Structure 1
Amino acid sequence: MSHRSPLALSLTLLSLSSSTLAGGTSAPQGTLWVADEISGSLTVVDAATNRVRATLKGVPAPHNVQLSPDGKSAWAVLGQNAQAVKIDAGSLRVAGTVATGAGPAHVIVSSDGQRAYVTNGEAGSVSIIDAVAMKPLTTVKVGSHPHGLRPSPDGRWVLVANTGSGSVSWIDTRTARQVADTPVGKAPAQVAFAPNNRVAYVTLRDENAVARIDVATRKVLGKVAVGPGPIQLTVTPDNRFVLVANQGTPERPGTTLSVIDAAKFRVVANITTGAGAHGVTVDPTGRFAYVTNTYANTLSVVDLAARRTVTQIPTGRGPNGVSFSALRPTVTGARNLALGEPAGDDHDSHH
């Protein structure tokens, strides 16, 4: 396997160097952040040019990365350190680190930027963090092996996918307590709320399906079959489509992004991405989706209107989480954040 840097590979893998994609479509202005779990790095991509702008090394086992709602800071979990790190999205410098529980998986930031929430897979809990003072506030016990989590659009709930116990936990952000647990199916990996806050969706990795939940009643409304091993999912800003990344397994990699019509709750397209489609995000206009390909070490840029992948961007090894920011960093190139060593090839990213 080649060990050339993403910056060097970008010159050979990218066929489009301007802000116009195939067919004359204008690319969005902003930045993609990718968590490279195996190589222990974060890849920062200019969305306007689809070129790697910076590579941040020395980030041990960053399974997921998430931009704050204002785009000014990027948060990543440090799987080997049982920590989360906050990075200034402009200067690309570490703003602080904070302790989590064992096996941190995903991190999100509240809409006001005051709180961060981290799932602790090995501890069966969620850490609630003061995102300004960078101090742990409390820990909420949830189901077995919590993985993905997302806030509701109104900020009232944090919904947590418990991969081990086949349920989703509802955390009340006002009281910092779990108030309900909804059984959903086999190996839920990630959740996503519809922008209208009426329904939520959850991937069921071991059922090759997505479940839909009524937010008011917290009951499962139904399920729809997708590709093999679905992991992350997101809803387009116009609430029309649910996008699902199908990772599969190392032996039988998934290579598609399933597009679900939200109104009809059925799959209307399966777009080819790369091997091990894992993370997915969408730009604010809803025109482009971005999918990390864990086994291919690439980020697919998907034109949702044309329903096809328009280019592949090189990343570090084992890319998992991906997040979009409307801001661009003020610096470029490689930087070592010196937070720890890479996880190595045997690190499990099948979740």
Structure 2
Amino acid sequence: MMKGVLLGLALVGVGTAADAETLYVSNERGNSISVIDAATMRTVATWAVGRRPRGITLTADGKYILLCASSDHAVQMIDRATGKLVADLPSGQDPEQFFLSRDGRTLFVANEDDAALTAIDLASRTVAFQVDVGKEPEGVAQSPDGKWVVVTSEDEGVVNWIDPVSRKMVDATPTDQRPRHVEFTPNGGALWIAAEMGGTVQIADPNTRRVVDTIRFAIPGLQDYQILPCGIRFTPDGRTAIVALGRANHVALVDVATRTVRAYVPVGKRVWHVAVSADGARAYAANGLSDNVSIIDVPAAKVVGNIPVGAGPWGIVVVP
């Protein structure tokens, strides 16, 4: 580990944009958020939060952290400057993940126990509307043009397509087993779907709302059942997808144009989700069973440091 940290600190001298960034990590078992200084690669604060924190993001103005406190059935709004709780937003039962709308006004929340997508108006801090979806919703995303909000149904093996204007579900796309996460490419031309138990990432065409391609993973020495795709993030230029592979203890770096894996990078145990620096040079992996965050040099496809955090890191967001 020390060797990895020293390598990482050597990279700090390069002066990348990532050096000025801060990471916020939701620790599912620790009921906390770890605050990490990317320049020093150290945890600088730990904030107590609600029970079983999972999805995490930032408001559009950068003032507040938004957090799914799943066992408290709330989305918590936390002052980024102080770490203090500002409000518990009404979100429905068992919020898992969410997506902040492109205009920053609405938070779309997947409520697993309600089998619903809840839209929270952030200005009034009230529920704007709720749409019934398939059982065990988790992954949520909005298309770059704002036309679609999509939410996965893990139990039913579908991705639900919701029109946010009419507030109705329009279609459902069958997927491989237990779709866990969804992410639109930066240009909006494709939706990438992590099917955890299927061991695949599937790609859907937003125009037809049908799967058009499937990416499979093979890591020497590992069995297929260990490869459990979860979080997906794209580099800002849209060229590389970073895919968390769960109990495989690796992330895959996938060429978006060719849809082929260019590298597998070993990280910590049970990697759940990933985040990417603004310049695309680094990725950060939240490792749920080793209680740390791995720092990945994306061009070199290697880990350059590991940072201890709270118990059960699950979600991660990186901000300037």
Shared fold (TM-score greater than 0.5)? yes
Q: Does 1:45 align with 2:36?
A: yes
Deviation at 1:134, TM superposition (A): 1.1
Residues 283-306 of structure 1: per-residue CA shift (max 9 Å, x gap): 111111110001100011100011
Q: Report the equivalent of 2:254.
A: 260
Structure 1 residues 15-24 or 169-178, which shifts more? 15-24
**Separation in 2, partners of 1:225, 1:22:** 34
Q: Report the equivalent of 1:99.
A: 90
Change in Cα spacing, 1:13 to 1:53, as seen in structure 2 (3 Å) is farther
Q: Does 1:299 align with 2:293?
A: yes
Letter in 2 for 1:21: L
Deviation at 1:67, TM superposition (A): 1.6
Structure 1 residues 60-69 or 278-287, which shifts more? 60-69
Which of structures 1 and 2 has the larger relative contact order (alpha carbons within 8 angstroms, sep 6+)?
Answer: 1
Q: Report the equivalent of 1:54.
A: 45
Q: Report the equivalent of 2:190.
A: 199
Secondary structure of the 2:197 match is helix
Secondary structure of the 1:21 match is helix
Q: Report the equivalent of 1:109.
A: 100
Deviation at 1:16, TM superposition (A): 4.5
Q: TM-score under structure 1 normalisation? A: 0.84
Q: Report the equivalent of 1:270.
A: 264
Query: Number of matched residues?
Result: 311
Structure 1 residues 236-245 or 58-67, which shifts more? 58-67
Secondary structure of the 1:275 match is coil
Deviation at 1:14, TM superposition (A): 7.8
Q: TM-score under structure 2 normalisation? A: 0.92
Residues 49-105 of structure 1: per-residue CA shift (max 9 Å, x gap): 211121111421101211224432211111111110111222322221112222210
**Separation in 2, partners of 1:231, 1:275:** 13
**Separation in 2, partners of 1:19, 1:72:** 29
Secondary structure of the 2:134 match is coil
Structure 1 residues 137-146 or 147-156, which shifts more? 147-156
Deviation at 1:19, TM superposition (A): 6.6
**Separation in 1, partners of 2:171, 2:305:** 42
Deviation at 1:24, TM superposition (A): 4.1
Q: Does 1:316 align with 2:310?
A: yes
**Separation in 1, partners of 2:3, 2:165:** 47
Structure 1 residues 307-316 or 153-162, which shifts more? 153-162
Deviation at 1:13, TM superposition (A): 9.6
Q: Report the equivalent of 2:233.
A: 234
Aligned identity (percent) is: 29
**Separation in 1, partners of 2:257, 2:49:** 44
Secondary structure of the 1:207 match is coil
Q: Report the equivalent of 1:283.
A: 277
Deviation at 1:17, TM superposition (A): 10
Q: In the alignment, is the contact (CA less than 8 A) between 1:14 and 1:50 conserved in 2?
A: no
Secondary structure of the 1:28 match is helix
Secondary structure of the 2:252 match is strand
Q: Does 1:143 align with 2:134?
A: yes
**CA RMSD after TM alignment:** 2.0
Deviation at 1:312, TM superposition (A): 0.5
Structure 2 gap ranges (5+): 219-226
Residues 219-254 of structure 1: per-residue CA shift (max 9 Å, x gap): 111101126011111111111111110112xxxxx2
